[in-house]
Amino acid sequence: MKSFRYIEGVASITVDRQKCVGCAMCVNVCPHQVIQLHDKKANVVDRDGCMECGACATNCPVEAISLTPGVGCASLIINRCLKKRNINTTGCC
């Protein structure tokens, strides 16, 4: 997906290299090849390619990856805001 790039400098992904055991599960599940193993440790090589889906963090057995996972969907965010203000909405995506 090098042909599609979204807004830069916002992705919240970080890897705790101390905790990382180098199992490479994160490398396997990332749909955008954001993570690679360097010296048997996970390394974020394309931060701006990260869509924060959370697959890597979910599948990390030692909780070495932290990010704010979620669905990048404007109508979802709008619906949440409206709900907070007690405005009824129909479903989103």
Partner 1 sequence: MAEVAASEDNKEFAPGTIIELADLDEPVDDEVCCGGAPAPKSNPFEKPGYKLQPYVRAIIKDKHVDVALVKTELDRSDHWGALSTRLGFNRNDYKVAPGLYGVGKPDADSEVLVTANYKLTFDIVRKELGGLNCWLLVLDTCGINVWCAAGKGTFATSELVERLQTTRLAEKVNHRRLIVPQLGAVGVASHTVRLQSGFRVIYGPVRATDIRAFLQNNLQVTEKMRSVSFTLRERFILIPVEINNFSRKIWWIFPVLFLLSGISTSIFSLEAAWQRGFAISIAVLSGGLLGTVVAPLLLPWIPGRSFSLKGTITGIIFGVIGVQILTMLSILEMFSVILITTAISSYLCMNFTGSTPYTSPSGVEKEMKLAIPLQAIAVLIGAVLWLISPFV
**How far apart are the C-alpha atoms of 89 and 75, rounded to whole Å?**
10
The distance of closest approach from Cβ of residue 87 to partner 1 in the complex, given in angstroms and rounded to an integer, is 14
Comparison of 75 and 83: residue with beta carbon closer to partner 1? 75
Other CB atoms within a 10 A radius of the CB of residue 40 amount to: 10
The distance of closest approach from Cβ of residue 18 to partner 1 in the complex, given in angstroms and rounded to an integer, is 19
Residues that bind partner 1 in the complex, under the rule CB under 8 A: 1, 3-8, 10-12, 25, 28-33, 49-55, 58-59, 61, 68-78, 92-93
The distance of closest approach from Cβ of residue 77 to partner 1 in the complex, given in angstroms and rounded to an integer, is 6
**How far apart are the C-alpha atoms of 50 and 27, rounded to whole Å?**
12
